[in-house]
């Protein structure tokens, strides 16, 4: 059962990925936040994020998002030029800014478009492609129109998040719908969505023994050691968890203070590290950290954990 770290814009950049791998481990595959084509090119920050020298020692799969075969080929060319032989297509992003362009989950009501992208993948025999998708954009049954296309594709695996795009991250994941997907698709599947503990990981493994893996995003941001705990089959003690989080924090703080010179910029980026960790600490302390207006007050708040 492989553990994949889901990409989250603004959180899982190469610095975070390297620090997580160094202090926590347990993750088999990391992904970049999606790379998109806009204003005639790819953002410099997205290129920096996939540079091999910035991702040494981890298995990294760049993720792309697109709505046309032209965008697909431009992005695929760039990723391949940086030496990658694995690539993931984002068909799950629920953000309206992307879905209105038929990107992310906005592509799911368009079987012909999905089929054309799969055909382009077939032309690149030197690349192992995967994809990440939701059940649909507006309807939980939209995926069914893609069943034949997906089963006949060259995808090495498909990650399913059992919500529809219009839900964003609200409401519960639809496990009954995932049951249908699990029975209908013949390609290797990875489950994604609302995994927040080692116990839940074990339940998924038992319920779906043929899963190739699990993809976890917010759950790993909330408890960075969860993949390691799954691997060793036990939870870390409170002290072990605290020490690991503090060690990660020291490295992330070092990156932020070297990268940014103004307190507001440092805090903007360091707050992302704590955002999902509220359950791991006293709420009063967490609020002090998140509301700290300068670096001095922030460091004082961190000492109280």
* Fold of the domain spanning 2-232: TIM Barrel (3.20.20)
At how many degrees (to 10) do helices 283-291 and 263-274 cross? 150
pLDDT digits (tens, 9 = 90+) for 47-93: 999 999 999 999 999 999 999 999 999 999 999 999 999 999 999 99
Tokens 């190739």 sit at which residue? 212
pLDDT of residue 83: 97
Angle at 279 between CA 275 and CA 282, to 5 degrees: 95
Hey, how many other C-beta atoms are within 10 angstroms of the C-beta on 94?
20
Instruction: Provide the residue ranges of all domains of the chain, joining segments of one domain with +.
Output: 2-232, 238-303
**pLDDT tens for residues 159-187?**
999 999 999 999 999 999 999 999 999 99
The mean per-residue pLDDT over the stretch 218-229 comes to: 97
The pLDDT score that the predictor gives to residue 241 is 94
Q: In which residue are the tokens 């999905």 written?
A: 114
Q: How confident is the model at residue 305 (pLDDT cuts 50, 70, 90)?
A: confident
Note the pLDDT of residue 304: 83
Q: Are 4 and 159 in contact (CB under 8 A)?
A: yes
pLDDT for residue 249? 96
Burial per residue of 36-75, b for 16 or more beta-carbon CB atoms within 10 angstroms, e otherwise: bbeeeebeeebeebbeeeebeebebbbbbbbbbeebbebb
Q: What is the CA radius of gyration of the chain?
A: 20
Decide if pLDDT at 207 tops 90. yes
What pLDDT score does 280 carry? 82
Task: Output the pLDDT for position 107.
Answer: 97
**pLDDT at residue number 292:** 93
Tens digits of residue pLDDT in 10-55? 999 999 999 999 999 999 999 999 999 998 999 999 999 999 999 9
């Amino acid at each position: 059962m492989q553990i994949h770290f889901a990409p989250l814009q603004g959180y899982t950049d190469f610095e975070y990925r390297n620090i997580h791998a160094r202090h926590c481990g347990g993750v088999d595959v990391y992904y970049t936040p999606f790379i998109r084509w806009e204003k005639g090119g790819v953002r410099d920050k997205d290129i920096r994020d996939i540079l091999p020298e910035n991702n040494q020692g981890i298995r990294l799969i760049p993720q792309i998002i697109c709505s046309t075969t032209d965008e697909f080929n431009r992005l695929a060319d760039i990723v391949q030029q940086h030496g990658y032989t694995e690539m993931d297509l984002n068909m799950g992003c629920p953000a309206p800014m992307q879905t209105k362009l038929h990107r992310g989950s906005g592509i799911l009501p368009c079987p012909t478009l999905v089929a054309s992208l799969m055909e382009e993948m077939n032309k690149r025999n030197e690349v192992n492609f995967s994809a990440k998708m939701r059940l649909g954009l507006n309807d939980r049954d939209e995926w069914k129109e893609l069943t034949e296309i997906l089963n006949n594709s060259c995808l090495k695996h498909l990650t399913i998040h059992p919500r529809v795009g219009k839900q964003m991250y609200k409401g519960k994941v639809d496990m009954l719908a995932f049951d249908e997907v699990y029975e209908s698709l013949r390609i290797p599947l990875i489950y994604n969505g609302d995994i927040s503990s080692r116990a839940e990981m074990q339940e998924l493994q038992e319920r779906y023994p043929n899963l190739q893996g699990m993809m976890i995003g917010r759950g790993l941001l909330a408890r960075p050691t969860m993949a390691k705990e799954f691997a060793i089959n036990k939870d870390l003690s409170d002290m072990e968890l605290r020490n690991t989080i503090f060690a990660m924090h020291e490295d992330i703080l070092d990156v932020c203070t070297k990268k940014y010179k103004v307190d507001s910029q440092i805090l903007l980026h360091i707050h992302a590290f704590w955002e999902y960790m509220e359950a791991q600490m006293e709420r009063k302390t967490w609020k002090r950290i998140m509301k700290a207006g300068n670096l001095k007050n922030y460091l004082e708040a961190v000492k109280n954990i």
